[in-house]
A and B are shown apart, each in its own frame.
Chain A
Amino acid sequence: MGAACDAVALMPAPPVTVPRATLAADASCRVGYDLAPARGAIEINNLSIIFGQPGKEFLAIDRVSFAIKPGEFICIVGPSGCGKSTILNMVAGFERPTEGSVTLDGVAITKPGADRGMVFQQPSLFPWKTVRANVAYGPRMAGLLDRDAYCLADQYLEMVGLAQFAGNYPKTLSGGMQQRVAIARALVNRPSVLLMDEPFGALDAQTRAMMQETLLRIWADNKTTVIFVTHDIDEAIFPGDRILVMSASPGRVVLDIPVTLRRPRSTDISLDRLFLSIKKRCLEIIRREILSAFERQAQASESNHS
């Protein structure tokens, strides 16, 4: 964390005591964090989701159940259209389950909230706000003074390497840069759950590696729960505590495998024997799933023809 901003807890009694004198001396950016104990336990129970009107129903998610411990980093991989974004939307509170339940810390999720940060698959910056104002938006909504919100924003922009673009409007940034701003915008809120939908898909290999390491570092600092969706197995194993592999539509969890690699991890961990065996296992399952999906499709079109 940059030294410019002193951390002052928003809680009545700050768990981290910062001498008042330092605060007064460096009052340029006093911002608070909620240093509450780790939260973010998610439980998904027998979740099914059906889209479409009666008569034209489409089963997108088929009886999925899994639980995530507070602070766990879990990665979801699966073929396109299997329902990864849909599951994130449920946890975010944008959509309601057709059947089953999704709870956060024991409470059913009924609506979106700042405790669950989301990085969307598509660009989602507010085009009428500058990059800095986009990142400062969450803190402002949380009630911080503009000055403090903007100071925090600058700090997080520095973290994603975009400090010099703070005054730009989003349209002047490349897709990858916009996505990094979106990540900073979600992180600055200190959510107890961070939902990331293929956040690095638009980045080049170098930037992607840098962002993966940054994300891991931030996660190690904050211990928020992360649900990370990707279709790149390496990208899933590198940061993950656990990997869920989903089947092609209708989405089911077909493999739930822990990643017990030691931490902290660096990029060369992808040569580790354990890493490779996990990767092999995942690839086998995905291959099997894709083949069976093709077979089902072939059967369906055959029965259509006859």
Chain B
Amino acid sequence: MVAFVPTTRAGLYRSLRIISIPLFFAIWELVSHSGIVNEFLFPPPSVVAEALFEWAVHGHLLLDVGMSISRVVVGYILGATLGVAIGIATARYPALSSLLTPIFQVLRPIPPIALVPIVILWLGLNESGKYFLILWAVFFTVWIATHFGVQRVDPLLIRAAQALGTPEHRMLREMLLPGALPYVFVGLRTSLSVAFYTLVAAELAGAFAGVAYRIDIAHENLRIGLMMAGLVVLGLISAGLDLAFEGWARHVMRWR
């Protein structure tokens, strides 16, 4: 027991981090049983864990998780690729920027969720509609981050590169892209969480599998434990992707 008594400030913080989540579950369990809340509407973690276990063994947890992740990944990669490509183009060619920027600035503030009904009309309830919604949600954030990132590359570095003999056609790869990278990564990370909001909206509006879809089904059957398990799984997936993204970004930009 003595070993757990922290002796330094850093040690204290580490111990707090370790007990943080167990403490949360403990309080949750206590509150559920305390009688302050309705135990049926606010089930304790033990019930949620049971529902999660049931979902994994007799339900379609793997299918649901797989479908949700594949939707986010496909839509995100399409939207991000398009956003980076068009962001570079509009940053480099003022004529193209003058043509596209006004259009994008009008479309960008429309919440992607508002598009769900019309996209269902156009593309139905199949996967392509969900890819499209997530693509749409991701595109604008990544586009604007790339556009400004490329434009904000330090002009002094461009001059230095020119004086070192950089041909115009290599400027993009050697200077503009690495210089814009910090901005692009901010856009990519922000749009990752936007992609999840949109995923949830798309699945709630109609799907045949997926984590948010399962939450919806559990709602209809009043299986509150399963609903909460769905929330926990969504949280874990998006936190996991965000963590992986952060690690990747830190590796790519280790020069910062």
Contact = CB atoms under 8 A, between A and B. Distances in A.
A189 interface: yes
A31 to B, nearest CB: 16
Contacts of A137: 161, 164, 174
B167 interface: yes
A160 B190 CA distance: 43
A127 B156 CA distance: 12
Interface in A123-155: 124, 126-130, 137-138, 141-142
Contacts of A112: 159, 162-163
Given A117-B164, A129-B255, A138-B165, 7 more contacts: A92-B159, A111-B162, A114-B164, A130-B255, A169-B255, A170-B255, A171-B255
Contact of A122 (B156, B167, B170): B156
Given A128-B181, A129-B255, A169-B255, A189 B159 contact: no
Interface size class of A (residues with CB under 8 A): 20 to 34
A141 B181 CA distance: 21
A161 B195 CA distance: 50
Interface string B2-45: 00000000000000000000000000000000000000000000
B165 A118 contact: no
B95 interface: no
Interface residues of B, number: 21
11 contacts: A92-B163, A112-B159, A117-B164, A122-B156, A126-B161, A137-B161, A138-B164, A138-B165, A141-B166, A141-B167, A171-B255
Interface of A: 92-94, 111-114, 116-118, 120, 122, 124, 126-130, 137-138, 141-142, 169-171, 185-186, 189
Contacts of A92: 159, 163
Contacts of B170: 141
Nearest to A185: B164
A113 B163 CA distance: 5
Contact of B165 (A122, A130, A141, A171): A141
A189 B163 CA distance: 10
B172 to A, nearest CB: 14
